Structure 1
Amino acid sequence: MNSFLVGLLSWLLIPLALVKGLGVRKIVPRLPPPRGRPKGQVGNGTAEIRLLIIGDSSAAGVGADRIEDTLGPQLASALNEATGNPVAWRNAGANSAIAAQVRDHVIPHIEERDFTHVIVTVGTNDAKNFVTRSTFKKGFGGLLYAVHARWPEAKVFWSPVVDMPDVPALPASLGFILGLRAQIINKMGAQLCRERNAIAMAPLPVEGPEGFAIDGFHANALGYRHWAQHIARIIQAEAPATSSSQKSE
């Protein structure tokens, strides 16, 4: 199904989405981010890899009970284990934020300028809020520009929206409708990444409900670990190859 038909079908189904969405909102608890300092380091010494996780509530770690179980520190641990090098991390996210809000309200409050890798987690709220293709293009495109302007030396990675029918909190009909919106967001996001020097990662495969928090929507500690391992493999694949003989020299 082409993008026009996907969009048309999703808009025709919006009355059903509104009814189902209100029902979900009544029963799903609103979770806060875990308490704790949203930055740290895994390993001793000067960190060669310095991560920024920026975006929506997932970047803030909503769904995890401890800050150590959120995406930033778990990704740092995965990369530290893979490389043997110390890895610094920083979480910066806002609940319910769409791409444009991260651009306007999250980036300006991050003082550090030395990140080597920026992981962007936006798109889910744009999909569930029925943000139009053109509005997402403006918001996410501006976000990528802002990231590059603020951290010009960093490699930028975008984590697309997961397969919405696999999200436990969503009834099948709502998962289908939001899945249509996610297709639009992911296709436009991948196009913008190609055009604006960012890497659109493969969407995170959902392996089952055990990776979700009690709200059935956000990741829990296990889900963040699965996500961190997924991103770590992609970062490692994008890293310049270094032979063991070069290291020994």
Structure 2
Amino acid sequence: MKTLLLNIIHFVISPLYFIALPQGLWLKRSAVRMPEAQGPRSMSLGNKQDSKLNLLYLGESPAAGVGIEEIKHAVSAQVAYKLAQKQNVEWQLLAQNGIKIKELFIKLQQTNTLQPDVCIITMGVNDCTNLTSNKQWQTHLINLIAELNNRGCQHIFFTAVPPMQKFPLLPAPLSWLMGYRAHVLNHLLEQVCQQHGAQYLAFSAVLLPGMMSADGYHPNKKGADLWAQSISQQVIPFIQAD
């Protein structure tokens, strides 16, 4: 029923694409470009004497720390630091600015990683802006889950696509359309997680304008820390139950 409603909404708002397309092309030429964060993409964290958790974090620009100087302040590393308060964590990051879900799957296939106990995936913004089809989104999500299962991953978590309608950079109606598209991808993501044994992590952080970087598109250190807090709070109950 919800899928049907989303299809109806898409039909109603589709004329807005004629306005949003020039906005998107203009932003592509004029937006501030910020680099990925500097620093190691693997770390051993914690000083506990008990068990160790192998954490593989996959993702796009927020995971790679775009808009943040040091990788240790990116959302991906901050999640690892917060989990390391409970146990030792071996953290590895595989992330790239601008990457889409299909490209991430290929990149993972071509990369030797640690054998993960837990994998967290932060994706979807680039698939929104590049208008990845619903079918392709679902197919590559399923492929990614299968690849991680083959690597022995015990818990797979997907973070929700952020509410793009709140990104300061995006003008209306482009912001409305991207927010709607993020909502659709989240609906499909939640369905795939339920059907294939992964966990969907809702976006519960409230990223105020002061928590965004200078480009108006990525979280700054404060925003990344808040988002990481939301992610870690949802992940901890699952790994503590083991």
- Which TM-score applies when normalising by structure 1? 0.88
Alignment of 1:57-68 (within 5 A): 57-68=61-72
Change over 3 Å in CA distance of 1:148–1:9 after alignment to 2 = farther
Counterpart position of 1:245? none
1:172-183 mapped onto 2 (5 Å cutoff): 172-183=172-183
**Could you tell me whether the CA contact under 8 Å between 1:64 and 1:221 is conserved in 2?**
yes
Once residues 158 and 167 of structure 2 are traced to their aligned partners in structure 1, the CA distance between those partners, rounded to angstroms, is: 20
Measure the CA separation in 1 of the matches of 2:106 and 2:241: 36
Q: Does 2:74 correspond to 1:70? A: yes
The number of equivalent residue pairs is 238
Quote the offset at 1:237 in angstroms. Answer: 2.4
Q: Offset of 1:62 from its aligned partner?
A: 1.4
* CA distance in 1: counterparts of 2:84 and 2:99, whole angstroms: 30
Please show how residues 27-38 of structure 1 align to structure 2 within 5 Å: 27-38=30-41
Once superposed, which parts of structure 1, at least 4 consecutive aligned residues long, lie more than 4 Å away?
Answer: none
Give distance in 1, aligned partners of 2:130 and 2:9: 16
Judged with a 3 Å threshold, the aligned counterparts in structure 2 of structure 1 residues 99 and 18 are, in CA distance, closer, same or farther, namely same
Letter in 2 for 1:57: S
| 2-structure distance, mates of 1:11, 1:129 | 16
Residues 1-249 of structure 1: matches in 2 within 5 Å? Answer: 2-44=5-47, 48-81=52-85, 83=86, 85-113=87-115, 115-150=116-151, 152-241=152-241
Q: Give the Cα separation in 2 of the matches to 1:139 and 1:14.
A: 25
Compared with structure 1, are the counterparts of its residues 7 and 131 closer, same or farther at alpha carbon in structure 2 (3 Å cutoff)?
A: farther
Aligned mates of 1:106, 1:218 — CA distance in 2: 23
CA displacement at 1:45 relative to structure 2: 5.8
Post-superposition shift, 1:229? Answer: 0.6
Q: For 1:13 and 1:86, locate their aligned partners in 2 and report how far apart those are by CA, in whole Å.
A: 49
Q: Are residues 204 and 222 of structure 1, via their aligned partners in 2, closer, same or farther at CA, if it must alter by over 3 Å? A: same
Unaligned stretches of 5+ in structure 2? Answer: none
Gaps of 5+ in 1: 243-249
Corresponding residue SS for 1:109: coil
Deviation, 1:10, is: 4.8
Once residues 160 and 107 of structure 1 are traced to their aligned partners in structure 2, the CA distance between those partners, rounded to angstroms, is 23
CA distance 1:125–1:49, change in 2 (3 Å): same
Q: Deviations over 1:162-220 (max 9, x none)?
A: 11111111113111011111121111111001111100111243330122111111121
Give TM-score scaled by structure 2 length.
0.90
Moved more, 132-141 or 102-111: 102-111
Q: Which residue identity lines up with residue 72 of structure 1 in the other structure?
A: S
Inter-partner Cα distance in structure 1 for 2:187 and 2:205:
17
